[in-house]
Amino acid sequence: MENPKIQEIVEKQVLTVAKAVEDKLDEEIAALERLDMDDMEALRERRLQQMKKMAEKRSRWIALGHGEYSEIPSEKDFFSIVKASDRVVCHFYRDNWPCKVVDKHLSILAKQHIETRFVKIHAEKSPFLAEKLKIVVLPTLALIKNAKVDDYVVGFDELGGKDEFSTEELEERLAKSQVIFFEGESSVNSSKSSAHTRRNVRQSTNPDSSDSE
């Protein structure tokens, strides 16, 4: 038969160890809870900072004329516009049906993609620019990033060769050159790419084809 004193001592030691383990677990759980709270707070703070930066960007873009499709009044204004915005789509046009088709699509995209400036300029009234940028076929879209022409969309060849292309098709072509963004914080509507409706802006029974100057 065991000594009651020894048994009592052993039981106390076991209880002490159990209490120590329990205290340690409680400390670790509390530490994890604090860590989670800290992480949540850090995430919240980062998100707030991102939202603040995005709001500042949007305000700056709107102040520069983003969100609307506008005409550049003169050649000299072209340079100040492309220097002010990181991404610019410039439509070189003349008063004909193909260019009006492009106008319809760009008017829609300008509102959807506030991260990019959408403008147009009359090619025949801008001979210096047309020559410098080698604009021959109209309509031509000059895709400009960081004040440099990075790519062109010439006529409708890349859009099916006809004026029946959709806004989505043109949007995808512009996104391919990264002059606009489909989604993410740089885009006004990050979910819109999944909710596109195909638009046909053909309104004439006798449309012109793309022409050259």
* Segment 75-131, tens digit of pLDDT: 999 999 999 999 999 999 999 999 999 999 999 999 999 999 999 999 999 999 999
What is the phi/psi pair of residue 60, to 5°?
Answer: -65, -45
Of the listed ranges 4-18, 65-79, 81-95, the one predicted with least confidence: 4-18
At 174, the amino acid letter reads: L
Measured distance between the N- and C-terminal CA atoms of the chain, rounded to whole angstroms: 114
Where are any strands of DSSP class E within the chain? 69-71, 87-93, 117-122, 137-138, 140-145, 148-154, 211-212
Report yes or no on 13 lying in a domain. no
Report yes or no on 57 lying in a domain. no
Domain hosting residue 67, numbered range: 63-177
Res. 17 pLDDT band, cuts 50 70 90: confident
Cβ–Cβ under 8 Å, residues 163 and 102: no
Identify the three-state secondary structure at position 148: strand
Residue 19: predicted pLDDT: 80
On the CB side of 62, CA atoms within 13 Å amount to: 9
- The mean per-residue pLDDT over the stretch 59-84 comes to 95
Residue 73 belongs to domain with CATH number:
3.40.30.10
Residue 209: predicted pLDDT: 42
Report yes or no on 205 lying in a domain. no
Cβ–Cβ under 8 Å, residues 166 and 201: no
- The token pair at 117 is 């400036």
Cβ–Cβ under 8 Å, residues 151 and 177: yes
At 89, the amino acid letter reads: V
- The mean per-residue pLDDT over the stretch 201-210 comes to 41
Identify the three-state secondary structure at position 136: coil
Res. 2 pLDDT band, cuts 50 70 90: low
Report yes or no on 22 lying in a domain. no
In terms of pLDDT, which residue wins out, 111 or 15? 111
Taking Cα atoms as reference points, which of 204, 15, 26, 12 lies closest to residue 98? Answer: 204
Report yes or no on 112 lying in a domain. yes
Report yes or no on 99 lying in a domain. yes
- The token pair at 30 is 């509390």
In terms of pLDDT, which residue wins out, 205 or 144? 144
Report yes or no on 199 lying in a domain. no
The total number of structural domains in the chain stands at 1
Report yes or no on 46 lying in a domain. no
Res. 203 pLDDT band, cuts 50 70 90: very low
pLDDT (tens digit, 9 = 90+) per residue, 37-53? 777 788 889 899 999 99
